[in-house]
Structure 1
């Protein structure tokens, strides 16, 4: 059976004072007018995994305007570990910066990072349409969600690197010159940075191999295949050196670059500057110069490939969250999307304003009407 949500209960979340969905393992289609709360439901589902959800908003912003100031999400989820009760929430006063939320898994308090052991997901939302044309930070986040899904332990290295880099940048801003203060932080950055780069390289290689295998088996599909590569200082170094040698080289690079970084008041080399390069395979052209329609199809194909890679490695498909995706596809690609969802046996959550667009899935999905916080079948 696929990873699937069987019940979902919301309290004071976004525009929902209270809501409950009872579901089976089939795909879920949420239909309603713009502003009715469809994407809010997807966001609630995304918070059953680690992180700040598919919109990336501070938790305090997710509480209902006329509510108590907090929110709660509770779900029964069928996972590889069996059927589990998972709950998460945010209470008034949980943190002025909106950073903290509570998590309970099978009745036990856990950190939010533990959700990644049980609920893996991939998602595509309209805000990601500029993935190929925008800055590298969005592409790194896109890649790192896959990296964390297939190697959950790398989250520790990502957090460790980010924390050490922020402290190093703070030293520059404080006009601190003591070598001893920098050495410890740069040691941490070198160790964590090489681990991050190695995990990213592995994820890109696995994803590229899966795409190539699918291309060899099926030929071109309505979703053009992507050619992937990873560009960065550490990634290039790991192609020529061992991890230990790469750590030493990066630590030396950081030390030698202190004055340059001091002038910029930030760290200019490291995995936080790496970039995922994507080429439209059939055209042999950078994704950034392709048409918006070609980019959308390429991106959707990448998201589906990520889902298939997670399923291949874990033996169970992740949740797939697709916000307003059907309306932007022609009929051929829309039917190809539905066929791929059924082939992968995923519980996909999709939203749309036109129920007719989902008619090919009528017998294979749960189609729910959403109307300003009220959900019906």
Structure 2
């Protein structure tokens, strides 16, 4: 968990220092006070672009000097920091205990998961959005997933650029395809392990206030040799398409509403929200049990859409999961919580 969080020129916060405790951290305030901005700052303590997926240059305070900073101290004393410099607004800087590091190193120190209102349409959104969601779930269980994903994507970008040449170098293509095969097979296996473990955890849960989901991966599947062969055979096709058409970047996460035996995409809006919440909670419990380190959960405006009985049930389920950050405009939404760090913005 985080024991200290400091924001500098981040969104609407010029300088903000927080000392959250264990358990619940409740951020309250009017719309526009910057509650979600704080959650976004915490989400940047994980690899990736954070819960808004914003360009780095958009995050720095508009009337500030340029650049931004997020610094945190974990309960074990580890210090994490990330941000940008005014001279390089699109280049992310990461430090772990004061030493320069890459973003993938953050996954080895903390697992950060989030649920925002924008994710309510996940089941009807693009396959790419569901893959990114799955990759965050996988990363919390297997930190090495960040490295394999980054190297696979980099090799694929280089291959796509090379295929655009009139006479691409065959040896270079083969080397890039070998990298894609190695890292693609590793990231695909990690995704399948995550889906299998989470699906088993969901199946073991009794029917209750939240509907149960069943998970599966659809699309490409194969070993490193099969992927290398497919890439080599598909060079002409991929060159014509301007992108790589085979590989683990083409899979989709399929979610089924178990109790109604139908795809989550066809469920009602309320059912989709409840399915997603149940999935995130089950995953957080899985991480806490497997990794031995509870994730930091970021839940934006989650309580506002639940009746009092379901809010109380949600809080009871969250209580043993470690540090959970929640936002809301009204403190009364969180009255069922016994003890919490409450921060008014």
Query: Normalising TM by the smaller chain, what interval?
Result: over 0.9
- How far has the Cα of 1:101 moved from its partner? 1.7
CA contact (8 A) 1:154 1:196 kept: yes
Match of 1:227 in 2: 214
2:96 is the alignment partner of 1:99 = no
Q: Note the residue ranges of structure 1 that are not aligned, 5 or more in a row.
A: 238-245, 371-377
Using the TM superposition, give the Cα deviation of residue 22 of structure 1 relative to its aligned residue in structure 2, in angstroms. 2.1
SS of 1:142 mapped into structure 2 = helix
Q: Deviations over 1:180-237 (max 9, x none)?
A: 3322221111111111111111111111111122x2xxx2121111101111222xx3
Partner of 1:332: 309
Aligned to 1:56: 53
Please state if 1:28 is matched with 2:25: yes
- Mapped partners of 1:48, 1:180: distance in 2: 38
Equivalent residue runs for 1:1-377 within 5 Å? 4-78=1-75, 82-94=76-88, 98-103=90-95, 105-213=96-204, 215=205, 219-234=206-221, 237=222, 246-342=223-319, 344-361=320-337, 363-370=338-345
Residues of 1 paired with 2:182 and 2:18: CA distance? 45
Contact kept? 1:224, 1:298, Cα under 8 Å? yes
If the length of structure 1 is used for normalisation, what is the TM-score? 0.87
1:321-355 CA-partner distances (Å, limit 9, x unpaired): 0111111223332222111111x332110111122
Give the distance between the partners of 1:259 and 1:49, measured in 2 at CA: 37
Q: Give 1:315 deviation, angstroms.
A: 1.3
* Aligned mates of 1:7, 1:17 — CA distance in 2: 17
1:292 is displaced (CA, Å) by 0.4
Q: Distance in 1 between matches of 2:177 and 2:73?
A: 43
- CA distance in structure 2 between the partners assigned to 1:53 and 1:348 by the alignment: 17
Query: For 1:53-104, what per-residue CA distance to the aligned partner results, in whole angstroms no more than 9, with x for missing partners?
Result: 21121222211111110112222211xxx22233222111135xx132232x
Structure 2 counterpart SS, 1:350: strand
Matched with 1:373 is none
Distance in 2 between residues matched to 1:192 and 1:83, nearest whole Å:
32
Where 2:91 maps in the other structure, the secondary structure is coil
CA contact (8 A) 1:161 1:193 kept: yes
Deviation of residue 177 (structure 1)?
Answer: 4.3
How many corresponding residue pairs? 345
Q: Structure 2, unaligned stretches of length 5 or more? A: none
Judge conservation of contact 1:164–1:185 (CA < 8 Å) in 2: yes
| TM-score using structure 2 length | 0.95
Q: Contact conserved, 1:125 with 1:323, CA < 8 A, in 2? A: yes
Q: CA deviation at 1:168?
A: 1.5
Give, in angstroms, the shift of residue 294 of structure 1.
Answer: 0.1
8 Å CA contact 1:59, 1:101 repeated in 2? no
- Looking at structure 2, the residues matched to 196 and 249 of structure 1 have their Cα atoms a distance apart, in angstroms, of 15
Q: For the structure 1 residues 88 and 160, does the alpha-carbon distance in structure 2 shift closer, same or farther, using more than 3 Å as the test? A: closer
Relative distance call for 1:193 and 1:360 in structure 2 (3 A) is same
